[in-house]
């Protein structure tokens, strides 16, 4: 006897919501039953244009949450991630939240606590995790092959790749490149390391490109950072250099690297061109640096070729977790730690000094 379909609601009907719907439509055990958007009429237009014949449209997500359904994709601007997630969890829904998790650390902590208290799942949408090469990086780092890992460098930079609209509004996005693409590179490194506990951050940010009308058509509205760099100290005497850029006069900010007492791992980002150079997609070349017979040598790490649609894998894993009662595929407890780092970066850059990171547990 077949199971009834997993019923899904969607909060927010912008561009990323379209991507969610495309993936849900490929799953035979899913029915989209509701869409909400704060702009009057926008949800109805979304429902009609995508031919979601069984979906009701709402101008208020709280009214939508009164319906009976199991899971919800939250695709709103960053500033409302906290409120919509908390409302959905308290309404008994399992939540797939688009990145970044929140605007502040306090919001992220509250979201995790509500998930725990309600027993409802909160998973964060980091589709690069589903690249098998990301798992390979994690396996190498956690195998002990590198020895004692003492330094990690991650980040990336687009030569030109600045978004506009809600992405550049501090009131709506909270942060710029750090939250938009920096969260991917942080997740790549921190997940491989087992999400260690950060202690302090010393950071610098700027927006020389975004506020220049030569480089951005909405320069007068540009309020967030387009570049940032930080040194993060962790427990166990580990340090991480984190750097990210939406635009720069350079071809690359370099590779991700893990330096250990026995070996080092270098991972290059995939692709070329103005919008490449960050960890929001596939993995490029990888190399293991080590000694052999007392001599420094290097060994290429074969990249796993695949044709997976990583966004689809993310959505399918969420649906399977809801259907099977599994824990969150990418739990909020983990991403709260990277949110603490981003929060620390912004505080440190504003204060122009090192700041401490305080986590509740």
**For residues 264 and 11, what is the distance between their CA atoms, to the nearest angstrom?**
43
pLDDT at 242: 96
Contact 108, 335 (CB under 8 A): yes
pLDDT of residue 281: 79
- What integer pLDDT is reported at residue 271 of this predicted model? 86
pLDDT on residue 307: 94
Given pLDDT bands bounded at 50, 70 and 90, which one contains residue 189?
A: very high
pLDDT in tens, 115-131: 999 999 999 999 999 99
CA distances from 37 to 86, 92, 120, 147, 246 (A): 16, 20, 23, 50, 28
pLDDT per position as a tens digit, 20-76: 999 999 999 999 999 999 999 999 999 999 999 999 999 999 999 999 999 999 999
Identify the sign of the CA torsion 231, 108, 283, 244.
Answer: negative
What pLDDT is recorded for position 125?
Answer: 96
Residues 6+ apart with CB under 8 A from 117: none
Contacts of 295 (CB under 8 A, 6+ apart): none
Mean pLDDT for the stretch of residues 12-25? 97
pLDDT of residue 279: 85
pLDDT, residue 248, reads: 97
Residue 361, pLDDT above cutoff 80: no
**CA gap 235, 282 in Å, rounded:** 29
Q: With the CA atoms of 201, 356, 354 and 342 taken in that order, what torsion angle do they form, in degrees rounded to the nearest 10?
A: 40
Q: Which two tokens stand for residue 355?
A: 């700041």
Q: Is 318 exposed, middle or buried (0-12, 13-18, 19+ CB in 10 A)?
A: buried
According to the model, what pLDDT value does residue 178 have? Answer: 93
pLDDT tens sequence across 248-295: 999 999 999 999 999 999 999 988 889 898 888 789 999 999 999 999
pLDDT of residue 1 exceeding 60: no
What is the rounded CA–CA span in Å between residue 345 and residue 347? 6
Q: What is the pLDDT of residues 75-110, one digit of tens each?
A: 999 999 999 999 999 999 999 999 999 999 999 999
- Separation between Cα atoms, residue 231 and residue 126, nearest integer Å: 23
**What is the average pLDDT across 192-211?**
98
Reported as a single tens digit per residue, the pLDDT across 129-172 is 999 999 999 999 999 999 999 999 999 899 999 999 999 999 99
Residues 6+ apart with CB under 8 A from 294: none
């Amino acid at each position: 006897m077949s199971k009834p379909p997993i019923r899904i609601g969607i909060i927010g009907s912008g561009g990323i919501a379209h991507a969610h719907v495309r993936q849900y439509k490929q799953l035979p055990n899913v029915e989209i039953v509701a869409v909400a958007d704060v702009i009057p009429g926008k949800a109805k237009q979304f429902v009609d244009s995508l031919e979601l014949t069984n979906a009701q449209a709402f101008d208020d997500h709280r009214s939508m949450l009164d319906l009976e359904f199991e899971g919800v994709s939250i695709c709103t601007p960053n500033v409302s991630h906290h409120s919509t997630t908390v409302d959905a969890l308290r309404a008994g829904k399992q939540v797939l939240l688009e990145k970044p998790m929140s605007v502040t650390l306090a919001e992220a902590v509250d979201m995790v606590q509500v998930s725990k208290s309600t027993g409802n799942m909160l998973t964060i949408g980091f589709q690069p995790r589903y690249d098998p090469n990301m798992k390979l990086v994690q396996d190498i780092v956690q195998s002990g092959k590198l020895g004692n890992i003492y330094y990690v460098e991650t980040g990336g930079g687009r030569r030109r790749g600045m978004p506009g609209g809600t992405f550049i509004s501090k009131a709506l996005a909270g942060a710029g490149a750090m939250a938009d693409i920096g969260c991917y590179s942080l997740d790549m490194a921190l997940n491989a390391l087992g999400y260690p506990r950060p202690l302090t951050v010393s950071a610098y940010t700027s927006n020389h490109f975004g506020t220049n009308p030569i480089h951005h058509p909405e320069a007068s509205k540009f309020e967030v950072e387009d570049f940032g760099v930080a040194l993060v100290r962790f427990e166990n005497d580990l340090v991480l250099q984190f750097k990210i850029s939406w635009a720069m006069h350079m071809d690359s900010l370099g590779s991700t690297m893990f330096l250990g007492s026995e070996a080092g791992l270098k991972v290059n980002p995939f692709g070329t061109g103005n919008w490449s150079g960050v960890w929001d997609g596939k993995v490029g070349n990888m190399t293991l640096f080590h000694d052999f017979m007392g001599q420094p040598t290097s060994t290429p790490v074969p990249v796993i070729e695949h044709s997976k649609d990583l966004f689809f894998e993310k959505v399918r894993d969420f649906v399977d977790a809801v259907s099977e009662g599994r824990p969150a595929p990418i739990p909020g407890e983990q991403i709260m730690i990277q949110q603490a780092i981003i929060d620390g970066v912004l505080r440190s850059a504003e204060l122009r000094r090192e700041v401490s990171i305080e986590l509740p547990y």
